[in-house]
Structure 1
Amino acid sequence: MPRFEANPARRPALVAGASSGIGAATAVALAEQGWPVALGARRVEVCEALAEKIRADGGEAFAYRLDVADGDSIDDFVAASEKALGPAEIVVSGAGDLEFGRVWEVDPETFLHQVQVHLVGAQRLAYRVLPGMIERRRGDFIVIGSDCADRPRPGMGAYNAAKTGLEALAEQLRMELEGTGVRASVVRPGQTQTAMGMSADPDVVGPLLEDWARWGFARHPYFLRASDIAAAVVAVAATPRGAHLVLVEAQPEAPLRESDTAPPREPDTGTEEGSR
């Protein structure tokens, strides 16, 4: 006899930060599992266009404006999404933003906003959705962390601090939720091609990349794609009850060498841009 009742076949999923990059890829990947998806981001028109594509491909999708730095916006998004799709079974906290800079050079309000988006936004989502999950005695609350939480990089402004705090928050949640039937998990990307940080001044990014290489953060030029992280999110959510993927870290596989002495091949950068 199974120790846990299986998850229902229909699992509505809420994705914060679904307008581009990892969030958009995750919404598509979850919909491909046959699960309804609610897409939330400030650029709601982009979310709606993606939702239309998901529906055209036979999936079920709903788009609604979401600003995770605004508690009222989160309340409205969750209420509208659950009215449209049903109670949330999966929540992916993936809203992100990035401003490069040295800690002492970043404007404190910019620093605070980064923390609000990455860390406080996730707590606001948890505050809004976890009581219902606990009442139903099942659910997956998944945060998109970063290997910066484990290995901070210079020049990342508030990103290192915010992601470190976010992963600590998820670990705390996991302990607090033990025995409720609700799983809190971290999907931790390594270097990933997204649009985040693409507005940065090249004069800032150039020295930053040199610092990364100096500190050993650039072993090879390959990047993950957003779809790779989406696949990791699906793996976490699709794990049958009774097992819990607590932390899944994805790193880009190194380019193949021609031989032990030959240099790596030039990377295939694909069509996505930027890095996460």
Structure 2
Amino acid sequence: MTGASNKVVLITGASSGIGEATARTLAAAGHRVVLGARRTDRIAAIAEQIRADGGSAEHHALDVTSLEEMRSFAGQAHELHGRIDVLVNNAGVMPLSRLDALAVQDWDRMIDVNIRGVLHGIAAVLPMMRARGQGHIVNLASVSGHRVDPTAAVYSATKFAVRAISEGLRQESRDIRVTVISPGLTRSELTDGIGDNDIRAAVRESMAAAIPAAAIEYAITQPPEVDVNEIVVRPTAQG
């Protein structure tokens, strides 16, 4: 594997929140980041700021629910840099509601982005990493992937699934490192989908997105023989 610096890192959902913070953190540490998101104007601005600060960043339009777009995203990065060291599967949605609200469209959206999006990311980079004999896939889960709370049943189900997929990939791999990052309450645009005012207020008092980003940096900069399998990080005030 490459050294602790100068990795080529693909980041999905990089237009805000943990994805944006991860791009900025890793670029500042000397890694070459490739940002993917649907809001191309936003990721273009972030990439431009990173380059202005002396970092390396490219950006591409990406909807993770499309396998074709995910493969194109990975393929362009591989063509430009000659390799992909790390994929950070960060894109996610969190429109919380009670099950009896029957928000079926929200359920489907969470399944498409939070589960299929992760699988599409794996499908896009795994053949390249296998061919090279090395690589690192970082999947963003949540503390909601360890517990279930009212209004979060479907969201929690998707994050339990991310942990299950990650563990299966880890057990199948000897040359690919697999890490799950499970953040607690984090200030992010994800919370825009929360209808409960008390929950939204609590999130506003939560940890900055730079904290999970630092956990990702820690995981990917360990020696090649070390696989950091899971990191749970949450505000001390969170129950």
Which bracket does the TM-score occupy, shorter chain normalised?
Answer: over 0.9
Distance 1:207 1:24 in 2: 26
Structure 2 regions of 5+ residues with no counterpart?
none
Instruction: Quote the RMSD (CA, aligned, Å).
Output: 2.2
Structure 1 regions of 5+ residues with no counterpart?
211-217, 256-276
Q: 1:234 aligns with which of 196, 208, 217?
A: 217
Structure 1 counterpart of 2:189: 195
Report how many aligned residue pairs link the two structures. 238
Task: Tell me if 1:81 matches 2:81.
Answer: no
In the TM superposition, 1:1-276 aligns within 5 A as: 7=3, 9-156=5-152, 158-177=154-173, 179=174, 181-200=175-194, 204-206=195-197, 222-254=205-237
Q: Which amino acid aligns with 2:213?
A: A
Q: Given that residues 12 and 86 in structure 1 are in contact (C-alpha distance below 8 angstroms), is that contact kept between their aligned partners in structure 2? A: no
Task: Report deviation, 1:156.
Answer: 2.2
From the superposition, tell whether residues 92 and 209 of structure 1 become closer, same or farther in structure 2 (CA, over 3 Å).
closer
Q: TM-score, normalised by structure 2?
A: 0.92
Distance 2:87 2:17 in 1: 17
Task: Report deviation, 1:199.
Answer: 4.7
From the superposition, tell whether residues 198 and 120 of structure 1 become closer, same or farther in structure 2 (CA, over 3 Å).
same
Task: Report deviation, 1:134.
Answer: 1.5
From the superposition, tell whether residues 132 and 7 of structure 1 become closer, same or farther in structure 2 (CA, over 3 Å).
farther
SS of the residue corresponding to residue 242 of structure 1 reads coil
SS of the residue corresponding to residue 189 of structure 2 reads coil
SS of the residue corresponding to residue 141 of structure 1 reads strand
Distance 1:193 1:106 in 2: 27
From the superposition, tell whether residues 254 and 242 of structure 1 become closer, same or farther in structure 2 (CA, over 3 Å).
same
Greater fraction helix: 2
Distance 1:51 1:27 in 2: 9
Q: Which amino acid aligns with 1:110?
A: D
Percent pairwise identity: 30
Distance 1:36 1:229 in 2: 19
SS of the residue corresponding to residue 122 of structure 1 reads helix
